[in-house]
Structures are given as C-alpha cells and as structure tokens.
Structure 1
C-alpha cells in the first residue's frame, strides 16, 4: 500500500516523514516538551501538508485499531501550528466535500446547544427536540464509509476504513444511547454521557477537516469527485437537502466520444462483442445484455456478489433497495464494507464457505414495522470449487402478513376478500382517490378526518407534497426518504409516527393539517 499511495501524491521525502513520526511519538508520549518538539519540527521537518501526516499514519505506524480513539487532535495541532496550513480549501459549489464541511458546521452548532442545556434542569421535550436534529448526523458517516473511504482505499490509503470507522461508530452509538436514556428518563446517566460525546464528536470533526478532507483532495481527482455525487444523493445528507443537478457537469464529460462504440466493434471482429441487443448464451436460454440488466433491475430481492478473492463485484440496483449502495463499493475488499465490530462475522462466513464446511448463513431483522430477511450462499462451480459469496436481501413484511389462499387475480389496492373480485386486467382500481378538484387545484380538505390508525402512505398518496413539507418543518421525517424509511412507511400510522418522532398524536395531526 505504501508505494500505491505514493503514486497519487507529490514527491514524498522519506527522511522528513521519519523525522515527523519520531517527533510526534516523543511528544505524544511525553518524552519531550512542546517547545522541544517544535524546535525539532523547525530544524528537521519544516513545512508539511496534511497528506504528509496521512502518509505517515498509513505507512509508518502500526495498525492499532484503538489508535484513532487515543490520538488527541488538539496536541497534533499544537505541534504542527505554523508548519502546516489547515485552512479550509476553496471548492466549487456542489463539491462533495463542501457538504461534509456544512454538516460539521451544523453539528458544532448543535453541540453548543447541548452544552447550554446541560446547565439547566432537564426538560425532556427540549432535549428530544435537540436530539431529533443530532440523530440525523450519522448519515454523514454513512457517506464517508460508502463513498469517501472506498476511493481512498483504491489510492492506497485505507487507514480511515480501519481506524476512523471505529470512531464513527462510537459517536453514532453515543447518539443512539443518549436518545434511549432520554426515552427511559434516566436523566443523571444521560447528562453524564454528554461530555464524552461532545469531546469525541469535536475531535473526530477536527481529524476529518485537518487530515481526511485535505488528503482526499490530494488523492481523488475532480472527475472522481464528480462521479461521487450520484452515490451521495442515494445515501442522503444530514440537516439539509442537496438538489440533484438537472444536467450533467460537462466539465468532466467522458473523453474520446465514440470510444465505447469503437471498442465494441474491435471486440466484435474477434468474436467477443456483447452489445445491448446481442444475445448471450446463459445457462438456460439466450438473453441480451439489456435484458439481463432489466431482470436485475426488477428483481423483487436485492443481491450482491463477492468473488473468491473477497472483492465486491456486483450488486443489483433496484428502486426498492433496502439499504443504500454506492458504485464505489465495486472492486472493494468485502471486509472493508462493514463496521470493524462485525468484520469477524463476514470473515467467518467466507472462511467456512471457502473450506466447504458451510453453504448458507441466514440473518433477519424483525421490527414492528418491517421484517427483513438476509441470506448468504456459497457459490461453487461445476467442480465444487469456491467461487464467491452471493448475498440476498428481501423485505418480507408483506409476505409474513399473508394468510389463507389467493388463487384469483387481485390487483394492489383492491380488497382480495371482496365478493366482486375479477380476474380481468380491466378490473384494477386505483389505490387512492383523486386529490384534485374540478379546477385541477389540490383540495386542502380542512375537514380531513385523521385517526390514530391512518396510514401515512395514504396521506402522502392523496397529498404528494406532504412528505417533503413535513421533512422541511420537522427533520425527523427526512428518514422517510431513506431506503429503510420507505419500507417502514408501508405500515406507519399516525400512532407509530407520533411515537417515533416524539411529537405526540395531537401535535402531529396539527402539523399535517398545517402542511396541507
């Protein structure tokens, strides 16, 4: 990895790196004072860039997973002050890194609010309202882990994946724990948990902005950042929405227009062509490449494939995908696609599949609103050799609710138990009524009857603007746009939504009517 990272960076002077590592370790362990350390910086190290520290951590330090937690960013900044420019880079509007900085700025504001509230007796609703905003922040980590880390790994910099991810998860868990303590009413433990949470969150943000983002700018090309935008949109953003560009950025258009066509013609000359409409021999038939992709696109399940070298090679890109995926995962070591605390499970599955000891591993997520089934299969060729792992994931909520038998055609939105069930296609009925009046304007229905059992999906179907309006007025509802949120929405009622948001039924109903 050392040589690989070096390929993408300006010239690295190894003597300088060795001196930087030595002075940092002596200062961190208290062997020399700050004044002595800075004198060494002046005489033996000189001016450095953020990527120098990243290179040193990647190639000159041991892979201690707890190192990221122990390292105090404040002490590092004291050491390099005046020797390294740590100002924010000037970036074009819409650059992926800008969104990380904006999220950190908002998180810092929220942490100041936490410090302020800690001085007063606990008023539960105030804290719940504050944490409804804070609990959005882990989306920031999801983008880092699925978008930024994979690209850095490809450039030889995998320390963020192996160390920073641990810290990401610690802060995410501290947020979750704080919310649980609030809900159970354990005020003393909740308040005691705030100081370490604030310290951890601020320290990690400083690590990101001092080392991670500047190093990313040095390693990742403008074209790769541009390509990252679609995956960022898929995962989402904390605290704000980012509009999808209506037209692609022509600044980074593909070079040599027509190259794909020329390559296809060359392959065809030697019998290797596989154009969208050319039929391919598959195991039990013939399909064009277009048809293969359409089948994957419409599968009722999500699938992913990891090859025998433990590299992610494929995932199905369906509209109903349960968890967000990013194309940056392709070609990535599967162990780097999971939190550190669950990597050992992934490794055990691969090991037992490879040895032939096991062929299948099942997991499921069982929540009141959703049931998700996950299964892994060992993939073997005709000779029984291990060729990889196939993961299948499915939302089985609806399947588990099925009872009795259904042998007649009944369309979605039509009661299968009704006496007038008809098997003709023309009998299909819309699931919702037309929300517009004769003049084409949406009815605001001031007398709208909303009960505890009213489904949110029915309200959103009748009033298409309502979901976006709720999310803009009350941040907790932004999660409904996530893949998992879309699953929960299938069964979410006013009662369950009020419990999850902390609003209370009466307040939620009032908010909905205000949005109409």
Structure 2
C-alpha cells in the first residue's frame, strides 16, 4: 500500500505518538481535560489536521465503527488552541469548497428541522423538507466515489474503511425518518429529529476538521482539476457549479512530465511499426468478431442499454460504461481502485464471497434485484474466464427494467411513440433516487425467503433475528427485558448486526442457553398475541 507520508510535509512521528497517548489517557478518564490540554501544550504545542489523520492511519488499531464512536466535540475541546480548524480560502468551484458550500446549505435545512420540530406535524410541509434533506445523498456519493478514491490511492484509506460507515448511517437515518412520516407515525418521527440533526452536524464537523484539510494537504492542484469532471458526473446537492468542459491546464510535476514524455515516445514508436491502436483515429482494431475503430468501440459502450463494469482477476476496477441512464453513481476515479474499497464495509463480505466463488470455479453467475413500487432494478454478475478456463475477473451488468416489466400484450409493428423516446430518459431520472440504496444496502439486494409464522415459532438455531423483528416489531423493545445484552439492539451498530444475527449467535453473545432464550421469546410472543 502507498505510504501516506510521501504525500504530506515532513511529520514528527514521535510527536504524533505522544498525541495519541495523551488522547487515549484522556478518553479513558486517566487525565482531566485541563491536565490533558496542559500536556499537549507542553509536549506538542501545535498540531495540524493532516497530522491527526496520519496518526490515526499509521499508529492506531483499526476499529470498524470508530468514526461513529469518535466524539468530535470532545476532541475539539481537547485540541482547543492547538488545532487549526479555520476554513481555507478557495475558489467557489474548487472540489473541496463545493463540499463546504453543501455543508452550509445542509445547516440551513437542519435549522428548519429545529424550527418545525416543536409544532404539530403538517405532513406536506415535512415531506417537502425531507425532499431537500435527501439530496444529501449526492454529497455523500461524490465524497465516497471521488474524494475517498484518490486519498486511498495515496495511502490514506481511513475514510473508506471508517467514515463511509458513518456516511451510510446518517443517510439511512434520514431515509428511515421519512418512512415514519409517510406511515403517519408522527410521534416516532418527531422523536428522531433531534438525533438526526446532531448526527448530521457531527458528520459535517468531522469532515471539516480533518478530512477536508488533509485532502488539501495530500492532493495536488492538478489532481483537483482532474476531479472536477467526475464531480460533475455525479452531481451536487443544492449548489450550482459551472460545467466547463475541460479542466484548467496546470504545469505537470517533473515526475509526471517524465512519465508522459516516455509514454508518448513509446506510443509513437509502436504506431510507426503498426503496433497498438493509437497511431490513427481511423485505424481498425481486430476484435473477436469484427473490426472497429477505438472511437466506435467507445460509442457502442456509451449507447449500451445496460450498464457494465469490469473487475479484473486482481480485483481492480478496470472499466465501466459511461451511459446517460447509469443506475449507480460512477466517476473515473473508480478506475484502478480495489473493488472492495468501492463498497461500504457492511457489504464488502458479499463482494468477497462472489469473487471467491467465481475464482474457485464453484459458481459462474449470480443475480440480484430490487423490486419497489414504480422501480425494478436487475443486477447480474458473471465470472469472466479465458479460453483455458482461467479466472480473469468479474463482469457486472445492471439495468433499470421498470418499463420492460410493465409491457403487456405484443408489439409486432413499427410504432413511434413517446415511450420509445422517453424510456431511457425516464430511467435516467429514476436512477439517482435508486442508486444509493442499490449500491449500499445488501440486505435489500439479496432478500432471503420470508419464513412463515409457523417456521418462525419453531425458533431453531438458524432462525434470523431480522425475520423475527419483521414479524413481531415490538420484540426489539422486549428483548432487553429477556437479557440486558440485547440493549445493543438500540445502538447504532444494530443496523449492521440485525441482518446477520441468528438465534444461535444471540445465545452465544448473551451467554444465555439456547433453549432458555427460545422459551423466553416464545413466552413473550404468546403473551403479546393473547
């Protein structure tokens, strides 16, 4: 993995070790706030945001949910006067300033949440407000696909491995609250608003305190210019950003100039002797079943009615089709990225399982689908193998099949109507709302058969907690009465744990014998039904 330090000014690692030691003792209650601040002032004096990021990256043991657990306000108090938290002076359309601008807009909408929360719910008013809050998905999607990607290539993968989980947690809180509103659960909906405001503000402060300043320290002006095209592909929340077609030219570094010069000379030499496809735009490439120019190949892929992505045998993303109706948000920064880092930690196990089964030859394909009112998304994965049967990667195909599923009868005559012209446009308009859920909610992508009530009441070791809670939602509140260990089901980690938990796992984690747990749950169900 790339060394993050190569992309930062020189850093005193011994100083960072002292910072983490003082911080750990303070959080453990071994130092008071004033004692910890005094030690920091004496031993550290000043610390830059990117130094904190480097310390977390290289000197701290990985914890999957650490970003969610980190109390940003407590950290700000600890480093008060030592950490520069000022906003940088950047052009409005600089990629980092676009994130700041979106944060400013989000804060305005959160103030509106606080203004409305004390009053009786007027549903349409709240629905309009939540339409705005849900635009935050675009901010998160751009951050995950663009910013995390380039930082990861430079050795800073903490955003991918930890902050992504917090991004999705906040996104899902907003989504779930809207569902409560739509189902007229006004009391539960209002009760969620304070938490949502606090969690969104917490996420934004974590972005602005460490993520964005570190990005500015690690990413060159040239790279930021190159990011702009991908940012525009994914889009922005609330703000308007100019759509200049070409990034501004900036002088390449000596290393880049050297590499470019060599590559250019090599391409010219190969072209001179008839090798490669870059010597002429009209040169035909020999394909397996035909000949096309490179331009024609790109045009065909751009007009594909389905989306394709290709991951090679080294698990690196090599290609995706740049179609207007794209189901998932994509940008060019995904190319060259480890496919596991293109997914949140909660769904990486699915990616790993698919690749493992394909690589071993145990499986050759697998499909998933999302079926919601007014939307049907189909996803298909197939193992790519060469003529000798060797595994060469994975091809992913995605399609919005909503219109196809709605077709009835037969059409055998040529008919030009609005549906022909508007079908792809309609898919493109539907995609932004669907894409984040398809991309980040494996429990919806891979639905398990819904067990019957009689099967649930058998309560075997493999009975799923998720199935129980879907059949008996009130059980979530009753489980801590059975065993205090189940209080964790009300914590942020519940969203990750519930889909995976079985009765056997619950027994093991709580220390409660399986039969005793089974009997206690059945007793609660019987009492509730009686």
Q: TM-score, normalised by structure 2?
A: 0.75
Matched residue, 1:473: none
**Is 1:111 the equivalent of 2:116?**
no
- More displaced, 395-404 or 40-49? 395-404
Distance in 2 between the 1:65 and 1:486 partners? 26
More helix by share: 2
Aligned 8 A contact 2:229 2:247 in 1: no
Is the 2:327–2:428 Cα contact (8 Å) retained in structure 1? no
- The alignment partner of 2:392 has SS state of strand
* Partner of residue 363, structure 1: 368
SS class of match (1:314): strand
**Aligned match of 1:12:** 11
1:362/1:374 contact within 8 Å kept = yes
Distance 1:29 1:132, change over 3 A: same
- Helix, strand or coil at the partner of 2:370: strand
* 2:218 aligned residue: 219
CA contact (8 A) 1:306 1:388 kept: yes
Question: Is the contact made by 1:264 and 1:274 (CA closer than 8 Å) also made in structure 2?
Answer: no
State the superposition RMSD in angstroms: 2.7
Aligned to 2:330: 325
Q: Is it true that 1:58 corresponds to 2:61 in the alignment?
A: no
Structure 1 Cα separation of the partners of residues 30 and 293 of structure 2: 67
Please list every run of 5 or more consecutive structure 2 residues that lacks an aligned counterpart in the other structure. Answer: 436-530
The aligned counterpart of 2:138 is 139
Distance 2:400 2:105 in 1: 34
Contact 1:226–1:252, Cα closer than 8 Å, also in 2: no
Partner Cα separation in structure 2 for residue 164 and residue 248 of structure 1: 29
Partner in structure 2 of residue 410 of structure 1? 415
Q: CA deviation at 1:288?
A: 2.4
| Structure 1: gaps of 5 or more residues | 416-430, 432-456, 462-466, 468-478, 488-516
1:418-469 alpha-carbon deviations (Å, 9 max, x no partner) = xxxxxxxxxxxxx7xxxxxxxxxxxxxxxxxxxxxxxxx79xx9xxxxx9xx
Asked if 2 retains the 8 angstrom alpha-carbon contact of 1:265 and 1:273, the reply is no
d(CA) in 2 for partners of 1:326, 1:67: 27
Aligned to 2:186: 187
Going from structure 1 to structure 2, the CA distance change for 1:134 and 1:404 (only over 3 Å counts) comes to closer
TM-superposition CA deviations, 1:372-413 (whole Å, max 9, x none)? 211000111122111110001122233333444444433344
- Contact map agreement 2:324 2:428 (CA 8 A) in 1: no
1:217-249 Cα deviation digits (max 9, x unpaired): 011111111111111111111123323126642
1:358 match: secondary structure: coil
Which aligned pairs between 1:423-462 and structure 2 lie closer than 5 A? none
Matching residue within 265, 271, 275 for 1:268? 271
Indicate the SS of the match to 2:369. Answer: strand
Task: Determine which of 281, 284, 293 is the counterpart of 1:279.
Answer: 284
Residue 40 of structure 1: SS of its match in structure 2?
Answer: helix
- Are positions 1:343 and 2:343 aligned together? no
User: Normalising to structure 1: TM-score of the pair?
Assistant: 0.77
Q: CA deviation at 1:270?
A: 5.4
How many equivalent residue pairs?
Answer: 428
Question: What is the distance in 2 between the residues matched to 1:69 and 1:247?
Answer: 38
Equivalence for 1:242: 241
- Alpha-carbon contact 2:225-2:247 (below 8 Å) kept: no
Could you tell me how far 1:17 is from its partner in structure 2? 1.1
Distance 1:485 1:187, change over 3 A: closer
Could you say if the C-alpha distance between residues 385 and 101 of structure 1 is closer, same or farther in structure 2, counting changes exceeding 3 Å? same
SS in 2 for 1:64: coil
Contact 1:27 / 1:34 at 8 angstroms: preserved in 2?
yes
Conserved in 1, the CA contact under 8 Å of 2:325 and 2:428?
no
How far apart, in 2, do the equivalents of 1:308 and 1:480 lie? 31
